[in-house]
Structure 1
Amino acid sequence: MIHPLRRLLILLLLPLLLTPALAPAAHAQGRPEVAGNWLVRVAGPQPFTMTLSVDEHGGVLTPRALSRQQTIFPGAAARTDSGFVVNATAWERENTLDVAVRGDSLRGSWSTAGQAPIPASGIRLPRETLAPLTGTAVFDSVVRVLERHFYDPGYNGADWARLVADARPRIAAARSDGEAYAVISGLLRAIGTSHLNFTAVPRVPSPAPVTPPAASAPAASAPAVSWQVLSPSLGYLRIASFEPSGESLPPEVARLDSAFAAFAGLPAIVIDLRGNEGGSVDLAYRLGQHLHAAPVAAGYLVVRRGFDARGMRTAAALDPATVPTLPADLPGALLADAVEAAGGAGMLSMGGGLARTYTGRVAILIDGNTGSAAEATAAMLRETRGAVTVGARTEGAMLSSADVMVAPGWRLRYPAMDFRTAAGVRLEGDGVPLDVPADPADRAALLRAAAEALRVPTP
């Protein structure tokens, strides 16, 4: 039996003895849980959305961008009393995401050096919106798709079997989606090709997690095609993107037609493809019609079946003269099926079908952000129309890609077709040959260089 005085002493000392042990737990309960997958919306004049994975192991916070915003690269991160801070490189500039977390939502700001902070908000993604990347199920699905459909049987010179074998134990040991994502992304980067990425595309419940203030609502998107007559000798045509297709295509075709109607009597035009990252071939077809009175061979595409059926390791082994010609008016959405039906290789043709075509001289403005279908267009016009390229060498990312959902919320984009110009020139990795170097950021200097190359007065 405990003596009454001893019992009283224990009761007095007990709170003091327990407080040090309980204090850390109480402090931990007061800090928000930041780990997980977050859908973050950044407002402002050019709003964007990204999916961000935040891991926390051993007190170390690691963020990874899982979204289609491939130009966002999270770096250092730290917890705060209310949430977390992430430093990120985006569009070649340093930025900071500083947010407070409350339950399954966050709110804060996105700051770019030298600019005022922009509001940022978001939600923690429910587990059902993204299939877990931990384990090997999604990894195996990615591997299967690439082994069946990746256009190049040699995987761009990479040791595919070794890469997969090295990645498998690391994916099995991953403790979070972020860690597993890093393994899968690393596997794809090791192939060293364009049009190959793995991204989160979660479906979130309505309403959207972030509603930007009315003052920050984005303006209507600018048209893909714009033009002006610079002088009696020179017209200027800007094609910002070849993305328009479906319902968005007819208005852009109408603008293109209007431009060439205005250019009819001009001796030369400049086509500006700077920053054009490509898209579909549909608008490029219309451009080809305005510049070629009859169909011309523009370039050929080869799918995996074409390589395997011919026993080729590279499309350089294929004689362009033996490649079947595809219809000149074939919609971009049907291109891959048409190449498959043609035996795995098909020659694109552009031109013809219009009562009047432009016959003057052509220059094309290009830069390091001119990619994909825009590169193919520039290279085709250089070969078939004698167009002069002005500016800087293009991105060197000309493959035709396909998208497939490999698991709920996860999309794999992979190169499904190789591309060569009609003369057999490969643009992937090399870009479009440059005729006249000039500062691609200086429009006036580019136009002067183009006018000189076209032998017309500077506007």
Structure 2
Amino acid sequence: MRRLASLSLLFCLLAGSAIPGGARNESINGRVFDRAWTLVAERYWDRAMGGNDWDAIRDRYYPQAIAARDEKQLYAVINRMLDQLDDSHVYATSPGELRWSKEPPEDRDMPAARRATRLDGGLLLLRFNQFDPGDDRWIRDEIRATEGLRGVILDLRDNGGGRDDVLDRIAGLFTTRKALLIRLNGRRDIEETTRGAGPNAYQGPLAVIVGPDTGSAAEILAFFLGESGRAYSVGERTAGTVTGGVDHDLPGGGRLTVAEYDIRTANGTRLEGNGFTPKYRVPSARKPTDAALAKAVSLLRGK
């Protein structure tokens, strides 16, 4: 992830006096809008821009961006423009939203990013809501530390995805042979494979639980484990948010995410807009009862 620029507005002087507030607003709004529009024009994976006339779209939204009275309005306009591409990994994040995201999870009333639970019968339930550095080591260490382990359940219902290099390493924890995970198609084509696969991989019974909030890298992992026959897949269809986003800085401290790659699974399946449907379709809500977890437990216990 690139380092984000600090939020700062530079006030210029003209003829010895400050430029009026409206002119300052127009200047920064125009710079942010133009940078976002240009980055998408230059970097988006689909050169046909989803069938859109990108120049005409600029003409439509630029006056609205200039007229925006504050940061919130400006980024709302930019995101309405970006929504014309209908791509899950094309969006702008304002400086204020980025500051909020950096606050400690406890200050934002968010659940723990990782949670390991020992269930009856020697089963290990692992819940994690991102693919961040260290997640692969946490999963490996929890598996190794569980005595009498008879099965692992990966709960990805709250996992919206994350870094692809972490995805590669987590997938490698559950397969003994190097395998193709995804193909990324853009300005250049890339193939990503499992990392660290080998004889030390966990080879026991495995289940993965997914739902409508399962996105991006979590969808890829669930597809790989389920379609390869390595794991039971349980729950509901995933979000279908799978393109390759790259982050870019915007003037004033915001951030633009641009899908620079279209992504296909090893067998050519496109998950973007389609999602992954698990083999065992069970309601994924945890209340009033957790039917998906109960089904995963039942499958691992052989019932």
How would you bin the TM-score normalised by the shorter chain? Answer: 0.7 to 0.9
**Higher RCO (CA-CA < 8 Å; seq separation 6+):** 2
Match of 1:302 among 162, 185, 189: 185
CA distance in 2, matches of 1:162, 1:146: 14
1:269 maps to 2:152: yes
The question of 1:259 aligning with 2:142 is answered yes
Task: Using the TM superposition, give the Cα deviation of residue 430 of structure 1 relative to its aligned residue in structure 2, in angstroms.
Answer: 1.2
151-160 or 184-193, which deviates more: 151-160
Alpha-carbon separation, structure 2, partners of 1:224 and 1:184:
30
1:278 equivalent to 2:161? Answer yes
**Alpha-carbon distance between aligned partners in 2 of 1:366 and 1:141, rounded to the nearest angstrom:** 37
Match of 2:236 among 388, 392, 403: 392
Which of 101, 116, 123 is the aligned partner of 1:227?
116
* Structure 1 residue 264 displacement after superposition: 7.7
In 2, the alpha carbon distance for the partners of 1:414 and 1:447 equals 35
Q: Secondary structure at the match of 1:364?
A: strand
Q: Is the 8 A contact 1:156 1:193 kept in 2?
A: no
- SS across alignment from 2:245: strand
Does residue 176 (structure 1) correspond to residue 69 (structure 2)? The answer is: yes
CA deviation after TM superposition for structure 1 residue 261, in Å: 1.8
* Aligned equivalent of 1:358: 202
**Partner residue in 2 for 1:162:** 56
Distance change (3 Å), C-alpha of 1:422 and 1:133: farther
Aligned residue in 2 for 1:185: 79
Task: Decide whether aligned partners of structure 1 residues 352 and 192 sit closer, same or farther in structure 2, where only a CA change above 3 A counts.
Answer: same
- What's the offset of the Cα at 1:356? 2.0
Contact residue 299 and residue 380 of structure 1 kept, 8 A? no
Indicate the residue corresponding to 1:143 in structure 2. 37
CA distance 1:170–1:236, shift in 2 (3 Å): closer
Which deviations, in whole Å up to 9, do the C-alpha atoms of 1:285-340 show, x marking residues without a partner? 3322321112111111122x1xxxxxxxxxxxxxxxxxxxxxxxxxxxxxxxxxxx
Contact kept in structure 2, 1:260 and 1:290, CA below 8 Å:
no
Larger Rg: 1
Provide the C-alpha distance between the structure 2 equivalents of 1:446 and 1:393, rounded to a whole number of angstroms.
Answer: 12
Matches within 5 A, 1:268-417: 268-303=151-186, 305=187, 344-417=188-261
* Offset, 1:454: 4.0
2:130 is aligned with what amino acid? S
Distance 1:241 1:183, change over 3 A: closer
More strand by share: 1
SS of aligned partner of 1:356? coil
Do the aligned residues in 2 keep the contact of 1:234 with 1:456 (CA within 8 Å)? no
Structural RMSD (CA):
3.3
Cα distance, 1:175 vs. partner? 5.5
**Shift in CA distance, 147/436, structure 1 to aligned 2, threshold 3 Å:** same
- Letter of the aligned partner of 2:267 in structure 1? A
- State the AA in 1 paired with 2:290: A
Deviation (angstroms), 1:126: 7.9
What SS is found at the alignment partner of 2:249?
A: strand
- Measured after TM superposition, the shift of residue 180 of structure 1 is 4.2
Contact conserved, 2:122 with 2:149, CA < 8 A, in 1? yes
Write the distance in 1 (CA, Å) between the matches of 2:142 and 2:9: 50
Rounded to whole Å, the distance in 2 between the matches of 1:165 and 1:221 is: 40
How many Å apart are 1:354 and its aligned residue? 4.7
1:240 matched residue in structure 2 = 129
- In structure 2, the CA distance between the partners of 1:145 and 1:446, relative to structure 1 (3 Å rule), is same
Contact 2:282 2:291 in 1 (8 A): yes
Partners of 2:204 and 2:62 lie apart in 1 by 57
- 1:379 is displaced (CA, Å) by 1.2
Closer/same/farther in 2, CA of residues 184 and 406 from structure 1, 3 Å limit:
same
Q: 2: CA distance between counterparts of 1:454 and 1:261?
A: 18
- The correspondence of residues 2-41 of structure 1 with structure 2, limited to 5 A, is none
What secondary structure, in the 3-state scheme, does the structure 2 residue paired with 1:348 have?
A: strand
| Aligned partner of residue 408 in structure 1, secondary structure | helix
Q: Which runs of 5+ in 1 are unaligned?
A: 1-124, 306-343
The answer to whether the 8 Å contact 2:175/2:197 transfers is no
Contact 1:264/1:358 (<8 A) preserved: no
| Greater Cα shift, 420-429 or 175-184 | 175-184
Q: Which residue of 2 aligns with 1:199?
A: 93
Listed one character per residue, the Cα deviations across residues 35-54 of structure 1 (whole Å, up to 9, x for unaligned) are: xxxxxxxxxxxxxxxxxxxx
In structure 2, C-alpha distance between the alignment counterparts of 1:296 and 1:126, rounded to whole Å: 46
The percentage of aligned residue pairs carrying the same residue is 28
> Which secondary structure does the structure 2 equivalent of 1:430 belong to?
coil
TM-score calculated relative to the size of structure 2: 0.77
1:299–1:421 CA contact under 8 A, matched in 2: yes
* 1:444 and 2:293 are equivalent in the alignment: no
User: Do the aligned partners of residues 191 and 385 (structure 1) sit closer, same or farther apart at CA in structure 2, a change above 3 Å counting?
Assistant: same
